[in-house]
Structure 1
């Protein structure tokens, strides 16, 4: 069955290690003829949530930026892949800003299969659990969300360090198996 897959790449570096892993996931998903859309968050204008909660009253955010379109895509997707480099054992600002801005419509992001991709210079997967817990905290707020896989791209500091690692094959295989 063909699924709608949305890949949210939060790497601030085009072709950064987490973005390279996204490309592998996309390749695997497309090889199985899934409909795949990748958003490179760096190319989008996403303002910070100001906690004004106008979205509660109006049903939409007061910010006029790219987040409304991204939210529509998140709601429409069957599968959401969230990828971030690890900064001080947590998500980067681009991903965290996106998560915060879902507040206007997060209750509509239901019954999604979720995959998480991280890339870090550290080689300790146990230390990466802190970052994954950030993703899981968001997932816990989504009705019917199901975590389907995690890709730990560890030991990757410089652009391209991730190439040739087992995370590359894992990303491809997870993409194929959505």
Structure 2
């Protein structure tokens, strides 16, 4: 059965290690017959949540008029959501965190989704990635019927392209095919 897959690639470094793994996931998903799309979060205008609760008083309408409404609609429509980030100081980058916080207006509508997490980091220790993964799990636990399908660790990848020499490449493709 074909699925609607949304890949949220948050790295500001276009063509970097996170993007490389997202592209591999995308290729696997498309070759398996899934409808898949990548949104480069860093190329979109997404303001941080103001905590004003305007959205709660106005049927989910945010006071900010940026790209988040479109992205949120796609998240609600997706069957599978891939959230990819480079690891900065052992957590997700600011672009991904802003996106997660801005789901507040409609997060109760992001239900029944399968999630994959893609992390890239210079550090090669998987244990040190725990904080980052737990940050994503903190988001997932707030969503109804969210299912974590896999975490992909593109570790030991400092320079652009380093991840291409790691087993994460094959796993990204296989995750995409099996999504």
TM-score surpassing 0.5? yes
SS in 2 for 1:118: strand
Q: What is the distance in 2 between the residues matched to 1:125 and 1:137? A: 19
Q: Please list, as runs of the form range in 1=range in 2, the aligned pairs for 1:11-160 lying within 5 A after superposition.
A: 11-59=11-59, 60-160=61-161
Q: What is the distance in 1 between the residues matched to 2:130 and 2:111? A: 24
Q: CA deviation at 1:43?
A: 1.2
SS in 2 for 1:162: helix
1:74-120 CA-partner distances (Å, limit 9, x unpaired): 00000000000000000000000000000000000000000000000
- 1:164 corresponds in structure 2 to 165
1:114-173 CA-partner distances (Å, limit 9, x unpaired): 000000000000110110001100000000000000100000011101002100000000
Q: Which runs of 5+ in 2 are unaligned?
A: none
1:43-87 CA-partner distances (Å, limit 9, x unpaired): 100011010010000021111000000000000000000000000
Q: What is the distance in 2 between the residues matched to 1:172 and 1:126? A: 23
CA-based RMSD: 0.5
Q: What is the distance in 1 between the residues matched to 2:25 and 2:165? A: 15
Q: TM-score, normalised to structure 2's length?
A: 0.99
Q: Confirm whether residue 173 of structure 1 aligns to residue 178 of structure 2.
A: no
Q: How many aligned residue pairs are there? A: 178
Q: TM-score, normalised to structure 1's length?
A: 0.99
Contact 2:12–2:43 (Cα < 8 Å) also in 1: no
